[in-house]
Structures are given as structure tokens and as C-alpha cells.
A and B are shown apart, each in its own frame.
Chain A
Amino acid sequence: MPPEGSAGREAGRARRRPLGTLRDVTTQPQVRARAIEAAPLATAAPIPGTVPTRPIPRGRGAVHKIRRFLIRTGPAYLFILPAVAAMLFVHYIPMAGGILVAFKDINLFTVTRWYDAPWVGLDNFVQGLNPDGFLGSRFWQSLWNVTFFGAVTITAGYVIGMAVALLLNREFPGRTLVRGIILLPYITPDSVAYSVWRFIFQARIGLVNMWLMKLGIIDEPVIWLVGSNAIYAVMLAAIWKGWPFAALVLQAGLQTIPRELYESAMIDGASRWQRFRYITLPMLAPVTRMLILVSILWNYNAFNQFYVMLGKDPGPAADVPSTLILRETFSTFNFGVGSAMSVVLMGVMLVLTMLYLRALRASERGQA
């Protein structure tokens, strides 16, 4: 059964449309284009979407219209209902709950009767964000850490990914194998990859210190995973793990660039750099935009690399919001403050996304 209320409301909206408007997929331009491609003979007549199995009742009355709507569109709601229900219970309701909890005083004792917990207004936010308090200063520090971390890893990942994508963008024996191997870091489970890197960064038995000693760069082992060095160690591991995805996406993007563009540029005497600068980069712009946006969003959720390599408490210099909130919530059992900080984190991500999209739009307008 489709949700009765929404179907009724939608039917009401449908009534406002001109009578006889076909509400089917072929009104969508891209699907229609595909359908036309597939059936070139049928281009003259409008293609009916899905032929209903039951005869559609005719008539102009509201009852008929609702019946018609239910028969034509009803099944769509049936099919989508399970996914909507699942997401309602596991996304929308918990999210609303998370925002509510941010305004309540919830600790280990009140958590079982969370709805009875006292409202505290903005107290949780004050406690979590006040830069003069212990928690607040840790929170701002963690936001700075994750921003710095993301700026380095995303840039490096993109540059390396682009270099390798360009390198492998030609025929050579064994290309499939090489492409498969460079994907290994991407598909290796996070906890495995970062455990290995934690092993590599061990001070006394680690590979990094062994090589640095042999090269004479250091005289005594560096402690990598504690204190101010830790974030750089995690960065290196995260770049190693992250660039193959950039390479993968950029490789797919490179394959969509028409070869003729390069040929005509070569006839015009464009240098290798000019071809890259004026053909490859602009043609990859849409893919790049998506890739960077996704990377930024993922970055602010960064947790696995820090948790696996540095443990529950990475220390102030390498703390990120996710580890801080996790500790505050499940070690100190300060659910309200934890929620308040995650709401702020969500706000930061929303603002960044909007700024990013706006900057892109502005730069596009500048180019046009």
C-alpha cells in the first residue's frame, strides 16, 4: 500500500496539471532521447511510457482522476516504499533525534529515558565550542587538524592520481595488470592498510626509520605515532591509500576526451604542456569538480585512519572531530555535548559544500 496521505496529496497536485498529460518516464528528456535512439522508427509519435495492464478508467470526475493516478503511479510508491521506510527509520528519524539530543542533558544515567532528560538550550553548544574551555579548544583544534589533513591529502592525491592516469593513458603490454595493481590500496580494507602503516611507522622495528637511518637522514629513531609527528604519518598513509581512487576516476575521464582535439592541437604546433593545459585540464573539469567535492566531504568524516593508526586518543596535535566526538560520547558519556559537536560538524560540511559550489559557479561564469 502506498502511504494514503501522500498519495492523496500528490493526486491533488496532479489534478492541477492539464488533463491528459502523460506522467511517464518518456517525458524525461534523457530517457526519451535514449528511447528514440533505440527505436528510430517511432520518433514521429510520442512514445507511451509503460502500457498499463489494467484498462485506465476514463472520466473527468475527481474520483476517476484519483483512481487513474493510483493505477498509473501507485506501483512506483509500492516499489520505493521499502527503501523509504528503511531510510526513514535509520536516517531521517535518527538525524532528527541527534539534533534534539544536542539540546538535552543526556549522560549515562539519563540515556535510557532520553526523552525525559532536561532541556538545556544551547549549553551543550557552549560547552563544546567555547574556545576558552578544554573541550571547545580541542574541538576547534580538531577542526583545524582535519582541514589541514584534507588540504594536504586531497591535493597530493589529486596530483599523483593525475600523473599516474596520464602515465597509463596509452597502450603498453601489461597495462591491465598494472591498472589492477595500482587499485590495491583503494580496495584493501582500511583497518588492514592502516595497521600495516602503523607497523611501518614503528620507531624501533619500522621500515621508515630503517630507511631514514640507512640514508643517514636521522641519527636516532623518530617517534612517529605520538605527538606532533603523528598527523604527518597518517597523512602519508592516507595519500598512499587515497590516490588510486583519484587515478581511477581521472582515467575514466581521460577516456572521454576525443582524440581529434589533440590531433588538431598538434597540427597547430601546441606543445605537450599546452595540450595538457588547454585540452586535458578543461575537459577533465567536470570530473575534477565531483572528485574534489566528494573528497572534501569524505575528509571531514575521516576517522578510520586516525583510529587505526593512533588509537582512541590521537593527542591534541592529531585529533579529528570524529575521534574527539567518539571519546566525548562513549568514554565520557556526554551524549548531549557529543551531539552538539556533530551538529556543528554537519553545519561546517554544509557551509563548505555551498561555498565550494558557489566558487565553482563563479569561476565558470568567469570563463564563459
Chain B
Amino acid sequence: MATAGLAYRRRHKRGTILGWLLFALAVLAVLIVVLVPYGWMVSGSFKSSVELQAADVTRPGQEPSWIPRQPTLDNYRNVNRTVRILDYLKNSLIISTGTMVLATTLALLAAYALSRWAFPGRNAYVVSVLSTQMLPGILFLIPYFILFTWLRNQFGVQLRDTYIGMIITYTSFALPFSIVMLRSFLDSIPVELDEQAQIDGASRLRILFSVLLPLARPGIVSVAIYCFIMGWNEVLFASVLTGTSTRTVAVGLLEYITAHEARWTMMMAASIITSVPVLVLFSFLQRYVISGLVSGAVKG
């Protein structure tokens, strides 16, 4: 009896070790698939452009290599020389931060109203918010362009190729999702807290900022990050509505490759620089952002 039990346990143990090994291999495979492009990006950013131009997959010994043959920092040093990527970074920073502040504020006020009042027209509003998310972005782009051109010619209001024009544009795209997400966060805070504060004589606005805001901080943070990343990553509108003075990094990055010259090594260096703000923001606040994004996505 005892030996049988022992044998069983040993067999079971061996099964577990094999299982763990397979499991570890599977996880490793997933990680490799995820990380290969990043590895290629980093390696490319340290290669000299001469090395890359000489590379050729057809000639043995001349294939592009993972380890740069003559590692160099030139790509990082000259990253701003052909493409004004640092200006584009500044533009992106201004536009994304502006979007973040404006969209989060408006969304917070709207979500407060949706969460704490059952006013007539509320459901219609929620439906209209959700349905704007379904519409193709390109449908808005053409009227925007016409509207911006018209405003400039008719009233002298310049919106195209200005920070404020881009901030307004991106705010409108960030708003629907932000409102829905923040509302679900505010809904989870008991109304008793509002009542308590109201009995103590706090105004509506005071309740929002002193009572609800601290409690909804994870939600607000994830909405803010979402807005920032949206502004940082957007390509379609930026490709049409930005010009020389507001070009964002998402579009500017593509300028390294022209019809005449492909500056891949510099582009890879610039890619790394472009990703850093997003990755840093995200890893700081990973927990908040993920729970926020998932709840938003699952609830729609």
C-alpha cells in the first residue's frame, strides 16, 4: 500500500516536472514572438547606416546581423539632423497633455452628471456617446478639413496646424470612451458619501472635487493615460490636419523614409525615443490602466 502510494507520488511528480517544462517552453515561445521585433529595433538603432546598406540576405556572410558589427551611437546623436524629431516630440507632448487635461476634465463633469442624476435625456445621451465610437474616423476627417478651411477664410480663425485645433480634435475622440469609463468608476462609489457631504453643507462641485475625485483616482488616472496615449499615437488626423509647426511624432517618424533615401537606423533610434514616454507612463500605472481599459472594453 505504502509503496504503491510512493510510486504514484513519484510518477505524479515526474508528470509535474514534464508539465512544468512544457509550460516554461510555451511561455518562452510567447515571449520570443513578442520580443523579436523589439530586439531587431534595438539592434538596428546601433548599426551604422553603411553597415545596413551593405547588408544583403542573398550573400552569405553579408546578412544583416543581430549584433551590430561596429556598434555606434551616431543614430541617437544625429536623430534630429534630417528629421526634426525633437520638435515633433515637443508638439506631441503639448498636444497629448492638452488633450489629457481637457478630455479628462470634461469627461469627469459629464460622468458625474450621468452617475448622480437620472435626468430626462440621459439614456439618449449615453446612446449617442456610444454610437459615435462606431463611426469611421475618416467620416469626420473630411468635414473637419472643410470646417477648418472655412473658419480660416471666413473668420480668420486658424485651427489647422495649430495646437488648439489638434487638442480639440483629439479631445472629441477621447471623450466618448472616457465618459463611459469614468461613469462606471463613479457608479461604484456609494451615494451615501455624497449625501453625507451635502448634509455638511458641501456644494455639488465641492462634492465632486473633495469627495469623489480622491476615491475615483484610479479611474481618473487610467482615463488620463488613455487620452494621452491616444493623442500620442493617432496617425490619420495628424497626417492631414497638422503641418510644419504642429507635426506630431507619430507622423513625423515616417519622414525618415523618403522616396530617395531610407534612413532605417535613425528611424529605429527615433522609434525607441518615441516609445519611451508611453512605456514609462504605462509601466508606472500598469495596474490602474489595465483594469480601467478592460472594464471599459468589456462593458463597451
Residues of B within 8 A of A196 (CB): 37-38, 40-41, 268, 271
Q: Name the distance in Å between B51's Cβ and chain A's nearest Cβ.
A: 10
Interface status of B33 (Cβ within 8 A of chain A): yes
> With A187-B278, A345-B138 given, is the CB distance from A31 to B187 under 8 Å?
yes
Chain B 276-300 residues near chain A, CB threshold 8 A: 278-279, 282-283, 286, 290, 293-294, 297-300
In the complex, whether B188 has a CB less than 8 A from a CB of chain A is: yes
Q: With A27-B118, A83-B175 in contact, is A94–B143 under 8 Å at CB? A: yes
Given A51-B199, A90-B168, A112-B150, verify A25-B274 contact (CB < 8 Å): no
CB pair B57–A210 under 8 Å, yes or no, is yes
B298 in contact with A97 (CB, 8 Å)? no
Residues of chain A from 184 to 216 with CB closer than 8 A to chain B in the complex? 184-185, 187-193, 195-200, 202-207, 209-210, 213
**Tally of contact residues, B, Cβ under 8 A:** 109
Docked pose: A213 CA to B41 CA in angstroms: 21
Complex: chain A residue closest to B28, CB-CB: A178
The CA-CA distance from A252 to B195 in the complex, in Å, is: 33
| B residues in contact with A50, CB < 8 Å | 116-117, 191, 194-195, 198
Which of A205, A209, A210, A300 has the most C-beta atoms of chain B within 10 angstroms of its own C-beta? A205
Q: Is the CB of B283 within 8 A of A180?
A: yes
Chain B CB within 8 A of A1 CB: no
B76 within 8 A of A: no
Identify the stretch in A60-68, A131-139, A149-157, A287-295 within 8 Å (CB) of chain B at 4 or more residues: A287-295
The answer to the question of B146 belonging to the interface, with a C-beta cut-off of 8 Å to chain A, is yes
Cα–Cα distance between A244 and B37 once the two chains are bound (Å): 15
Q: How far is the CA of A163 from the CA of B10 in the complex (A)?
A: 30
Contact A80-B254, Cβ < 8 Å, known A53-B203, A90-B169, A188-B275 = no
Per DSSP, are chain B's interface residues mostly helix, strand or loop, or mixed?
A: helix
Measured CB to CB, the closest approach of chain A to B139, in angstroms, equals 4
CB-contacts of B170-211 with A (<8 A): 171-172, 175-176, 179, 187-188, 190-192, 194-195, 198-199, 201, 203-204
Q: What is the chain B residue whose CB lies nearest that of A52?
A: B198
Q: Are A111 and B146 closer than 8 Å at their CB atoms? A: yes
Residues 42-101 (chain A) with a chain B CB within 8 angstroms: 47-53, 73, 75-80, 82-84, 86-87, 89-92, 94-95, 97-98, 101
Q: Who on chain B is nearest to A100 by CB?
A: B143
Task: Assess whether A318 is interfacial by the CB under 8 Å rule.
Answer: no
A368 at the interface (CB under 8 A from B): no
Asked whether any CB of chain B lies closer than 8 Å to the CB of A234, the reply is: no
CA distance A286 to B298 in the complex (A): 8
B236 within 8 A of A: yes
Report the nearest A residue to B256, measured CB to CB: A195
Q: Does A275 contact B (CB under 8 A)?
A: no
Q: How far in angstroms is the closest Cβ of chain B from A149?
A: 15
Residues of B within 8 A of A330 (CB): 145, 240
The 0/1 profile, CB within 8 Å of B marked 1, for residues 290-334 of chain A is: 110110010011011001100000000000011001100110000
Residue with the highest number of chain A CB atoms closer than 10 Å, among B109, B118, B232? B118
The A contact surface, by secondary structure, is helix
Contact in complex: A111, B271 (CB < 8 Å):
no
- Residues in A with CB closer than 8 Å to B37 are 185, 193, 196-197, 200, 240
Whole-angstrom distance from the CB of A73 to the nearest CB of chain B?
A: 5
From A47, A193, A244, contact of B191 by CB (8 A): A47
- Closest Cβ of chain B to A181, distance in Å, is 6
Out of A185, A220, A252, A345, name the residue touching B136 (CB < 8 Å): A345
Cβ of A126 within 8 Å of any chain B Cβ, yes or no, is: no
B187–A34 contact, CB under 8 A? yes
Residues of chain B within 8 A of A19, CB atoms compared? none
Contacting pair B34 A180 (CB below 8 A):
no
**When chains A and B are docked, how far (Å) is the Cα of A25 from the Cα of B122?**
12
Cross-chain contact B175 with A205 (CB below 8 angstroms): no
- Shortest A261–chain B CB gap in Å is 20
Which 7 A-B residue pairings sit nearest by Cβ, starting from the closest? A90-B172, A76-B117, A83-B110, A79-B113, A10-B120, A38-B190, A94-B143
Can you list 19 A-B pairs with a CB-CB distance of less than 8 A? Answer: A27-B118, A31-B187, A34-B187, A78-B113, A94-B140, A94-B143, A97-B143, A112-B149, A114-B150, A184-B279, A193-B37, A196-B38, A200-B40, A210-B63, A300-B136, A326-B236, A343-B139, A345-B136, A345-B139
Chain A residues close to B by CB (< 8 Å): 6, 10, 13-14, 23-28, 30-31, 34-35, 38-39, 47-53, 73, 75-80, 82-84, 86-87, 89-92, 94-95, 97-98, 101, 106, 111-112, 114, 164, 167-168, 172, 178, 180-185, 187-193, 195-200, 202-207, 209-210, 213, 220-221, 240, 244-245, 248-249, 252-253, 286-287, 290-291, 293-294, 297, 300-301, 303-304, 307-308, 321-322, 325-326, 329-330, 335, 338-339, 342-343, 345-346, 349-350, 353
Known contacts A80-B110, A114-B146, then 9 further A-B pairs from the complex at CB < 8 Å, ordered by chain A residue:
A14-B120, A35-B190, A38-B192, A94-B143, A98-B142, A101-B142, A111-B150, A191-B233, A192-B253
